[in-house]
Chain A
Amino acid sequence: MDADRLLVDRTRGGDLRAFEELVDRHRAVVYRVAARVVGREEADDVAQDAFLRAFHRLGAYRGDAPFRAWLLQITHNAAIDHAVRRRDVPDSERVDEVAAAAPERDAKRLPADGLEARERRDRLEYKLTGLRAEHRVVLVLRDLEGLPYEEIAEITETPLGTVKGRLHRARSELIDLLRRNTYDWELPA
C-alpha cells in the first residue's frame, strides 16, 4: 500500500496528524494549480477550500486512482467554482479584453534584469487568465505541471480526446493573445 493510502486510512480513523502530512505532501502542487487557474492572490483560498473538501470526502476515496489525481480533481473543481463565482463575465468574453488590455504593469518599463524578468512573468500570467477556464486548466496541467494526458482526463473528468482538443485550442488562443501583446514574444507565424 502506498504512503498516501496509509495516510488516508489513518485520517479516516481520526488521526489529524496524518491529514496534516497529506496536506504537507501535496500542498505545493495544489497551490501551484490553484494559483495558475485563479491567480496568485486567491490561490490560498482555493487551495484551502480544496483540502477541506477532500478532508470531508475522504470516505468516498476508493483508492482506484492515485491520491494526487483525486485531490487535483477536487482542486480543479474548487478553482473552476471560484472562477465562476468571481466574475460575471465568462472567460471566453475576456479574451479580447485581456488581449487589448494594457494593465498598469504593461506600461511600466523597469530597467533592472530581475524586475524585467518579473514583469515578463506577470504579463504571461495575466495573458493566461484570458483563456477559458477549462482550456487554462488543461494547459496548466500539461504544459506547466507536465502531467500525462490520462491523469489530466481523470482530473478534469473528460475523455482523452477532449483533453487533447482543449490543449490544442488553449495553446492556439494563448499564442494569439501573446501576438496581440505590445511585448514581442518572438512567436513565429
Chain B
Amino acid sequence: MSVGEPLDPPPPPAEARLGQVLQILRDDAPQPTHALAVRVVERARWQGALRSALRVVSQFAGAASGVARLLIGRRA
C-alpha cells in the first residue's frame, strides 16, 4: 500500500489471511549478487562495442556501394 492512495475496502477473511501468508515471501525475498551487476556491465560493454563496429561496417558498405554505383553509371 502506498502513501496517499485511497484505502481498499477491508478484504474478505480468506484474502486477509492470504496477506499474512504472503508475509513469508516478503520476509524472505530473493537477493541478487553483486556478480549480476558485473556481468550485465561487461555484456553491455562488448555488445555496445559490437554495435559500434557493425555501424562502421554498415557505413563502409553503404559508401562502397555508392562508389560502385557511381563507377557503373560512368561506364554506361
Contacts and interface: CB of A to CB of B under 8 A. Distances in A.
A187 interface: yes
A146 B48 CA distance: 35
Q: Which of B29, B40, B43, B45 has the most CB of A within 10 A?
A: B40
B74 interface: no
A16 B44 contact: yes
A171 B15 contact: yes
B37 interface: yes
B21 A48 contact: no
B22 interface: yes
Interface of B is mostly: helix
B73 interface: no
A61 interface: no
B44 A175 contact: no
A19 B37 CA distance: 10
Given A31-B31, A149-B5, A144 B41 contact: no
Interface stretch (A39-47, A76-84, A92-100, A104-112): A39-47
B1 interface: yes
B43 A48 contact: yes
20 contacts: A16-B44, A24-B37, A31-B30, A31-B32, A32-B30, A48-B36, A52-B40, A52-B43, A55-B47, A117-B24, A121-B28, A124-B21, A124-B24, A128-B25, A147-B2, A148-B2, A148-B5, A171-B15, A188-B13, A188-B17
